[in-house]
Structure 1
Amino acid sequence: MDNIQAKHYLLAKMATSEYFPFGPQVSVFKVKDKMFATLALGKGNEKGTEGKMAGHYCLNLKCDPDEAVILRDIFTAVIPGYHMNKAQWNTVILDGSIPQGEIERMIDNSYQLVVSKMSKKDQQSLC
């Protein structure tokens, strides 16, 4: 999955909007004003990432803390969330090593985690 496919998949989620609160290089995706993903191009100088993000687009996705650790063990392109709560967010490096279906599943889970914390009224408005 590349950055364009990821962006289209993210924006296809119900009530999702794209914002740029951190400048034009970082897309923030929200469902009803609650962030569930970011997408940005890695520069390679990100502290604590050993240069893994260099030249690759990266997704920050919300994740169940137990699953977050498991995904990091399975995929070398999944690291603790850069600039995020590392227990509840993963950074997924779009370097081609993770199957598209798995990335879509991670996006779906991030979206659902955020929606599940919304009020019943907000959840029902998504149906």
Structure 2
Amino acid sequence: MDSGLQNPSIIRVAAVVICDSQRRILTVRKRGTHRFMLPGGKPEAGEDPHQAAAREAYEEIGLDLDAHTLEHLGQFSADAANEPGQLVQAEAYLLPEPQRPEDLQAAAEIDELRWMSAEQIVTGTDIAPLLSTQIIPAWMERTG
């Protein structure tokens, strides 16, 4: 991918794809931003990406899950949605069981939760590029 920069900074994150029983995907918008993305964030020192994804899901939306239940979807890179001139590299994971939307709430730096179909994410104008152009197409291919 050509970001237009010779040596862009790379922001490493871990994120989790969370679905409900209707196959809608949970997206979040962080405080002070305009684009929706998956719950997730940067790993802390000594933390594996799947552990970071589980911790961030708990901190951001109150979902307490076992990191070992997450299924690895892949590693993806794109221009960062909220940090101009930087790349984001994400380890994305799937939560295998559907969640009930009413059980999850915005917390920490999350201002808004939005449940969306894969099609809405791919065509949305307020979606992080990594999510709409890479993670969701990979999710659709994997889950049918």
Q: Do these two structures clear the TM 0.5 threshold for a shared fold by scoring above it?
A: no
Q: Identify the structure with the greater strand proportion.
A: 2
Q: Identify the structure with the greater helix proportion.
A: 1
Alignment TM-score, normalising by the size of structure 1: 0.26
Structure number with the bigger relative contact order (C-alpha 8 A, sep ≥ 6) is 2
